[in-house]
Structure 1
Amino acid sequence: MAKTKNKNLMNIKNISLENIVAFLLTIYIFFSIFLPPLFPKKVIFILVLTISLIYVYLKKKLSLVIINPVIIFLFFLFYYCVGYTVQDGPLALQFLLLTVSLFIIFTVTEIRYDIEENLQTVSIIFSLLVIYMSMGFFSNFISIPIPFTDQLIAFFIDNKLGYIGFRAFGNFKPPMLHFISSPILLVPLLLLFDKLVRETKLKNFILFLIVLTAILLSGSRGIVAFSLIGIMLIYFYRVGIKTKLSLIFILALACAFIITNLETDFTLFSPTEKSNSVKVGHFISFIEQLNVKQVIVGDGLASLYYSVGFDKITGQTEVFLLDSIRYFGILGTLLFFLLLLIPMRLNNKNKITLIRRYKQLPILYLIFILYLLMSFTNPILLNSYGILVILWFWSKVLEIKEVV
């Protein structure tokens, strides 16, 4: 009788602890998207990690042991040491500590926390905020006053949460309200679009339209381009042959439209455009300082080099693929991305098993690969919301119990 009471008490404690962890994870997702650079997010992260470690300790034995977080942490630790004295020290330490966030996957899988559902919910709220603030900032186009937007925009600017104004591409000058964390919207947008294609409901369409509007308002060519690519690929995958032929026809018309608007398009992709010229400068400096050691081994985490793009010595640029090669070398970069794409676990015999679900979850892999490709030319992977995308991907892959 006493044993039964103790067991029930333990179950109650586990349930309450699971609820606390789940709540903190949701708050962490919220702060990582809404306020990524601010101090409260760091406090929440420490709480999440601490409670997660306590939960894992109380569990004694995990039902699934994924080894990728351990390997990635050791990988970064090695390259942190390799780059010692020739690196941006604070940045290198930030990258190293960031990999600790990946250990949250143990708790996520144990309590079966649905990152995808919560990520979509928070992203929709975030998108509504972007639209609301944009209506207030660009209120000269409408006659209706928008309450509280002045305070929100002041907070946005004072805390350097992003950029606001107009972007200029030739004669095309779209309004822009770009949060630092806007790139993460690619994931919920494509998930919502996939759901819309499978279930043509008004609710799905409205939610998709909300997130798409926020992406268009971000003014980021990368997010918009990869969103359109993802939409086309998902649609092409889901629909029948007749619709596929119709899609090809529509794409042909789109190409014709692009050709007739070459001035704007050349401006978008011109090397003299401000953002493009900076990235071209990074590439030129990378090539000029390339050496055999850097290609094979790398110079270490957050290693410094002079970039014409910034006209200064820097440890990080906007072109993450080049930075990754500088940090880890070509083989190290390939290993890093493979560790992200292929979760590995220890089975009952302590043997390593690769977990590959691309046959069961093709859309999941498509979305994650598109995000990784987008990260090649933008620093959107080694930060809090980039880690969220990795945790989301791993959690979905690990949902299926049978190992292929």
Structure 2
Amino acid sequence: MNSKIVRFLMLGYCLATVLVPVFILNKLLFFPLFFLSVVLMFLKPIKTLAPWIVILIFLYGFVISLTGEADLALGRQMLLGAFSLFLIYVVIAYNVDMGLALKASGVTLAAIMCGLSFMLMMMPGFFLGDVLLEYYNANELGYYGVRNFGNLQLFMLHHRSSPFLLVPLSLLFMDYLNSRKLLTLFFIGLILVSIVCSASRALMAMAAISLFVLYFNYKTWPLRVLILMAAVPLGLSAFTYLVNETSVLSADEQSNNIKIGHVVSFFNTADWSMLFFGKGLGSYFYTEGYGTVVSQTEITWMDSVRFVGVPLSVLLLGSILFPVKKIFASKELRPTGIIMLLYLLMSMSNPVLFNSFGFLVILWYWSVIIKGQPTVALMPQPRGLI
């Protein structure tokens, strides 16, 4: 197949997956890419077993779920989603720039969300805004309203793919540090506004940490010391404000209380069988967080243990992160590892990894590692503070 066609299909698949994951378009784009991947497995194999390991773990979890009480629809969705990791064969064989695809998808999502947020806040009742919001709600693409954190109230237009924005934001920031282009800076600002409008605490926190850590990694040690001297008091001031003036970090805040309930219920129901073998993908359990039986929570790795057990969860994490030593041994690849680690940290409190856009992030990460080339060569530079 022509390389330009393949790259166009991959870009379309990424856009469709991020923007309208419930729509059939990403499935239509996926099938030709998947069949091409199957062919390339034999014609152009790559030196990694990671896609096979991940898919076999998900297959094991799905088979186990058939023997107990589980949400089989969720199990099938997770298993089929994992098969998108086979697209790594297409990405490598045709040298698809996944970083570019993710940046384009992120900027497009941010532009749409910022535009819709502007219409809802500044032009209430405007017909286009109402039509888009009706489509947004009808297809359950996210949440709209106001989020309260004590004395802090935030407008909220949260797309289900909003957590994905952490990766394109970080990649664009790496671009800007190297090129200093105003257009790149504009895209960064657009994504940051969209992240704030999402009202997601984890996403906002990880975005700030990512920008700081990448900038810190970019500078030489003398400048790093100065950055820390400025960042530490600012960070302490922000922490003090959040603790004293808002409920963001309070255990009584609704979202925090729900997550605590999930964790308490997990330990109350954990047994040796579940810890070693799991209960299967989408297995049900009662959580005090919701006060009912659910098949999935916001805490990805706790669910992973429930689904496939501790040993396979550790193997799953190792397969996703391979090869960790190579990442941090190379200065050029270090930013890639930083971004992925922060994304994994965000998955500790948000279901952002084992879904359609989460698998896109894994594909991007694997493509950089397997090629051995960073999307952007980000090296410390002896420049000024800005």
TM-score of the two chains, using structure 1 as the length reference: 0.85
Q: Secondary structure at the match of 2:148?
A: coil
Distance apart, 1:400 and its partner CA: 2.5
Deviation at 1:138, TM superposition (A): 0.6
**CA RMSD for the aligned pairs?**
2.2
DSSP 3-state at the match of 1:377:
coil
Once the two structures are TM-superposed, the CA of residue 396 in structure 1 deviates from its matched residue by: 0.8
Task: Give, in whole Å, the separation in 1 of the partners of 2:241 and 2:307.
Answer: 42
Q: 1:263 aligned to 2:244?
A: yes
Tell me if 1:99 matches 2:82: yes
Larger mean CA deviation between 130-139 and 244-253 belongs to: 244-253
The aligned residue for residue 95 of structure 2 is 112
Could you tell me which runs of 5 or more consecutive residues in structure 1 were left unpaired when the two chains were aligned.
1-13, 344-353
Aligned mate of 2:212, from 232, 253, 257: 232
Structure 1 stretches of 4+ moved >4 Å: none
Q: 2:354 matched to 1:382?
A: yes
The answer to whether 1:397 aligns with 2:378 is no
Counterpart CA distance in 2 for 1:21 and 1:53 is 14
Q: State the shift of 1:176 in Å.
A: 1.2
Counterpart in 1 of 2:335? Answer: 363
> 2:49 corresponds to which residue?
67
Q: 1-side partners of 2:17 and 2:78: how far apart?
A: 16
Q: Are 2:142 and 1:159 equivalent residues in the alignment?
A: no
Secondary structure of the residue aligned to 2:248 is: helix
User: Where does residue 174 of structure 1 map in the other structure?
Assistant: 154
Change (3 A) 1:261 1:33: closer
**Residue aligned with 1:163, SS:** strand
Q: Flag the 1:88–1:77 CA change in 2: closer, same or farther, 3 A.
A: same
**1:260/1:90 Cα in 2 relative to 1: closer, same or farther (>3 Å)?**
closer
Aligned to 2:143, what secondary structure does the other structure show? strand
Cα deviations across residues 42-89 of structure 1 (Å, max 9, x unaligned)? 2332243234445x38xx520524321112222222222233232222
TM-score (norm 2): 0.89
Change beyond 3 A, Cα 1:203–1:20: closer
Distance in 2 between residues matched to 1:262 and 1:140, nearest whole Å:
34
Q: Which residue of 1 aligns with 2:384?
A: none
Distance 1:292 1:274 in 2: 31
Identify which range, 127-136 or 309-318, moves more after superposition: 309-318
Q: Are 1:76 and 2:58 counterparts?
A: yes
Measure the CA separation in 2 of the matches of 1:260 and 1:319. Answer: 26
Distance in 2 of aligned mates of 1:262 and 1:274? 15
Percent identity of the aligned residues?
A: 30
- Name the residue aligned to 1:28: 13
Q: Is the 8 A contact 1:28 1:48 kept in 2?
A: no
Q: Return the alpha-carbon distance in structure 1 between the equivalents of residues 96 and 102 of structure 2.
A: 11
1:257 offset after TM fit, Å?
4.3
Q: 1:300 aligns with which of 280, 305, 327?
A: 280
- Does 2:110 align with 1:127? yes
Tell me by how many angstroms 1:315 deviates: 1.6
CA contact (8 A) 2:242 2:248 kept: no
Structure 1 residues 66, 306: closer, same or farther in 2, change over 3 A? same
Partner of 2:73: 90
> For this pair of structures, how many residues does the alignment match?
369
Contact 2:55 2:79 in 1 (8 A): yes
Q: Secondary structure at the match of 1:38?
A: coil
Provide the secondary structure at the position in 1 that maps to 2:63: helix
How is 1:328-347 mapped onto 2 (pairs within 5 angstroms)? 328-342=308-322
Q: Is the radius of gyration larger for structure 1 or structure 2?
A: 1
Q: 1:395 to 1:261 in 2, by over 3 A?
A: closer
- What's the CA shift for 1:261? 5.2
Deviates more, 1:44-53 or 1:323-332: 44-53
Do the aligned partners of residues 261 and 388 (structure 1) sit closer, same or farther apart at CA in structure 2, a change above 3 Å counting? Answer: closer
Q: How does 1:131-280 map to 2 (within 5 A)?
A: 131-139=114-122, 148-251=128-231, 252-260=233-241, 262-265=243-246, 267-280=247-260
Mapped contact 2:37–2:87 kept (Cα < 8 A): yes
The Cα shift of 1:140 comes to 5.7
